Amino acid sequence: MIRIAIPNKGRLHDPSLNLFAEAGLPILDGGNRKLFSKTQDPEISVLFARAADIPEYVQDGAADVGITGLDMIEESGSSVELMLDLNFGHADLVLAIPENVKANSPEDLEKFRVATEFPHIAKKYFQDKKVSVEIINVSGACEITPHIGVADAIIDISSSGTTLMMNKLKVIDTVYSSSVYLISNRNSLREKKKIAHIRSALESVLRAKGKRYLMMNVPSESLNYVKKVLPGMSGPTVMKVESDASIVAVHAVIDSDSIFSIVNNLKEAGAKDILVVPIERMMP
């Protein structure tokens, strides 16, 4: 059996469920926030846990695979294998102070009290800066601490900056940049081959995002021009069309944001019967 640890709530929960569904491994009853759940594969089960606990669960073998943020892994100090950047949940751990405080850099915060849910990252950050501060560990609502006299500054996760602005806090430095990763227990990775299959399935979904499959018929005399227009991953696929006219079928994978200009250029070259098709998965 393989057990996958997935965040039980918060901003990482739904994207994680969606990614597994897109990879062909939907999690059954995942929306009910149960402690355990099944997948369509009888050999793969799911454990729902706090994102902060997942690195330790994976390290200790309570889960073979997990999804969590790099910041959580760094804070816990857990020894796990980083398998794949899942390309969502991007956020910065930032150092912020009240707007009315006259400070512009970490070096200005000597002897300040800094509240954070990430005391280990904060301690290392200020040690590297050679700035002496008092780290105050809080479990939530970090942004309110400067306004109630608990701290003078905070280190907290910020994805958009809206919460900081609402609480009249200004960012003076980025402490750590985080994204969400697929991680695994090192022993499990060596012993359970299906973990590599899970990684490949998720990666195939990520590789397909922002890509489209382009198909068209092209006069043979225009083929060289079409090849120059198409920025295919490894060149277009060209196939003979059984027709009285000299026509070839051309297929290529292109970036979705380049479709508008490329299709117009292809039409000018004489391409016709152009089809643009979404790609669900691209196996690495």
Q: 163 falls in which pLDDT band (50, 70, 90)?
A: confident
Residue 233, pLDDT > 70, answer no
First CA to last CA distance, the chain:
25
Report the distance separating Cα 54 and Cα 185, nearest Å: 11
Report the distance separating Cα 196 and Cα 255, nearest Å: 27
Closest CA relative to residue 107, chosen from 160, 172, 47, 191: 172
Strand ranges across the sheet with 153-158: 134-137, 113-116, 153-158, 91-98, 169-178
Each residue of 76-121: pLDDT tens digit? 999 999 999 999 989 899 999 999 999 999 999 999 999 999 999 9
Q: What is the pTM of this model?
A: 0.83
Residue 242, pLDDT > 90, answer no
Report the distance separating Cα 227 and Cα 239, nearest Å: 13
- Cβ–Cβ contacts within 10 Å for residue 273, how many? 11
Q: Contact 240/225 with Cβ under 8 angstroms?
A: no
Closest CA relative to residue 28, chosen from 37, 36, 18, 16: 37
Quick one: CA torsion of 131, 74, 138, 180, rounded to 10 degrees? 130
Closest CA relative to residue 171, chosen from 75, 272, 252, 97: 97
Q: 43 falls in which pLDDT band (50, 70, 90)?
A: very high
More confident residue, 28 or 31: 28
Tell me, what's the pLDDT at 30? 61
Burial class (CB in 10 A: 0-12, 13-18, 19+), 240: exposed
Q: What is the mean pLDDT of the chain?
A: 91
Q: CA-based angle 115:118:122, to the nearest 5?
A: 75
Q: 221 falls in which pLDDT band (50, 70, 90)?
A: confident
Residue 139, pLDDT > 90, answer no
Tell me, what's the pLDDT at 264? 87
Cα 123 to Cα 26, 92, 118, 131, distances in angstroms: 40, 17, 9, 10
Mean pLDDT of 228-239: 75
Each residue of 250-265: pLDDT tens digit? 998 888 888 888 888 8
Query: 47-50, long-range: CB within 8 Å, 24+ apart, which pairs?
Result: 47/3, 47/4, 47/5, 47/6, 48/5, 48/6, 48/7, 48/8, 49/5, 49/6, 49/7, 49/8, 50/7, 50/8
Closest CA relative to residue 3, chosen from 50, 34, 43, 32: 43
Domains, in order of start, for the chain: 2-88+179-207 (3.40.190.10), 91-178 (3.40.190.10), 210-278 (3.30.70.120)
